[in-house]
Amino acid sequence: VLKQLLAAALTASLLTGPVSTSEGGKPAREAIGKTMEAYIAAFNAGDPAAVTALYDDSATVEDPAGSVPRKGKQAIKRFYETVCGRGSKLEPVSINPATDGSGAMLFQIRAKAATVNVIDVMTFNGASKITSMKAYSAISSAPQ
Amino acid sequence: VLKQLLAAALTASLLTGPVSTSEGGKPAREAIGKTMEAYIAAFNAGDPAAVTALYDDSATVEDPAGSVPRKGKQAIKRFYETVCGRGSKLEPVSINPATDGSGAMLFQIRAKAATVNVIDVMTFNGASKITSMKAYSAISSAPQ
């Protein structure tokens, strides 16, 4: 029984990670999760200023992954003015914050022509503002 | 019409990224995608050696994100011997390789007690071997 309990505890630890803390200026997992949820809500409200407000002043946005990152709030706001202007909506599938001030989430972008799975990987400062975002898109469209 | 075409091209570029190339020793998106698929297949076959063979000799595995990374093939193999031994299966949801030698994927871990959404973020060398893996788990279980 002890062995089973130990195995279960190990599994739980591997699956969910250690309990979140806010040590060393790192935001708690729950705080990161809230910023990610606020990001999707602001995007879907078509509000580039609200999305930009979730970023740190010197943040970078690399979208798509492999492109030259946009740096700073002005460039980031311009980016979201363009993207939000298209009327696409984000449907969250999984929001996965970590204990080290980073997080990843998968959402579907629903545009007129297609639905695409996108994974955003983000880092955060102690105030849970986004310091970097990198977007990984699926090569092919997801089934509609 | 030109404006519409331009907008469509921009959207396509933002959603899928530039066409993949193998410049500068970086693997093509398709090659990264194949390694990610092979990772899931080897894991589900319960074959820790096959999973480990997908890694670069000096690779790191940070699972869960925020934990101390395991370094090198020996430590990585030990990790997969433990994890694969539990009989959990990975169900891929989205495999999103990028053009810069990195990629992210979301899969569900189906264990006896629960199903959990996990996002793995990986980097790759020119031979499409994994040089680093970082695993982001959802805080709560996904609906079964």
Give percent of chain A with pLDDT exceeding 90: 72
Instruction: Supply the pLDDT for residue A118.
Output: 97
The alpha-carbon gap from B15 to the nearest alpha carbon of chain A, in Å, equals: 6
Asked if B93 lies within 8 A of A106 by C-beta distance, the reply is yes
Sorted by sequence, the CB contacts under 8 Å of residue A92 that are 6+ apart come out as A37, A40, A105, A106, A107
The alpha-carbon gap from B14 to the nearest alpha carbon of chain A, in Å, equals: 6
Of the candidates B8, B17, B136, which has its C-beta nearest A137's C-beta?
A: B17
> For every one of its 144 residues, what pLDDT tens digit does chain B have, with 9 covering 90 and above?
444 444 444 444 444 444 344 445 899 999 999 999 999 999 999 999 999 999 999 999 999 999 999 999 999 999 999 999 888 999 999 999 999 999 999 999 988 778 999 999 999 999 999 999 999 999 765 444
Give percent of chain A with pLDDT exceeding 70: 80
Instruction: Supply the pLDDT for residue A24.
Output: 55
Nearest CA in chain A to B108: A94
Instruction: Supply the pLDDT for residue B18.
Output: 40
The residues of B carrying an active-site annotation are: 39, 63
Residue A38 above 90 pLDDT?
yes
Instruction: Supply the pLDDT for residue B24.
Output: 55
Asked if A15 lies within 8 A of B97 by C-beta distance, the reply is no
Asked if A94 lies within 8 A of B100 by C-beta distance, the reply is no
Q: Are A90 and A109 in contact (CB under 8 A)?
A: yes
Nearest CA in chain A to B118: A96
Instruction: Supply the pLDDT for residue B12.
Output: 43
Find which of B137, B140, B141 to mutate to test the A interface (most A CBs within 10 Å of its CB).
B137
Tokens representing B59? 């690779």
Find which of B94, B100, B107 to mutate to test the A interface (most A CBs within 10 Å of its CB).
B94
What are the tens digits of pLDDT across the range A64-113?
999 999 999 999 999 999 999 888 999 999 999 999 999 999 999 988 77
* Arithmetic mean of pLDDT, A45-64: 98
pTM: 0.81
Find which of B90, B119, B121, B124 to mutate to test the A interface (most A CBs within 10 Å of its CB).
B119
Instruction: Supply the pLDDT for residue A113.
Output: 78
Residue A70 corresponds to which amino acid?
A: R
Q: What is the mean pLDDT of chain A?
A: 85
* Arithmetic mean of pLDDT, A119-135: 98
Asked if B137 lies within 8 A of A18 by C-beta distance, the reply is no
Instruction: Supply the pLDDT for residue B3.
Output: 47
Could you give the angle at which helices A29-44 and A72-84 cross, rounded to 10 degrees?
50
Instruction: Supply the pLDDT for residue B78.
Output: 98
d(CA A47, CA A85): 9
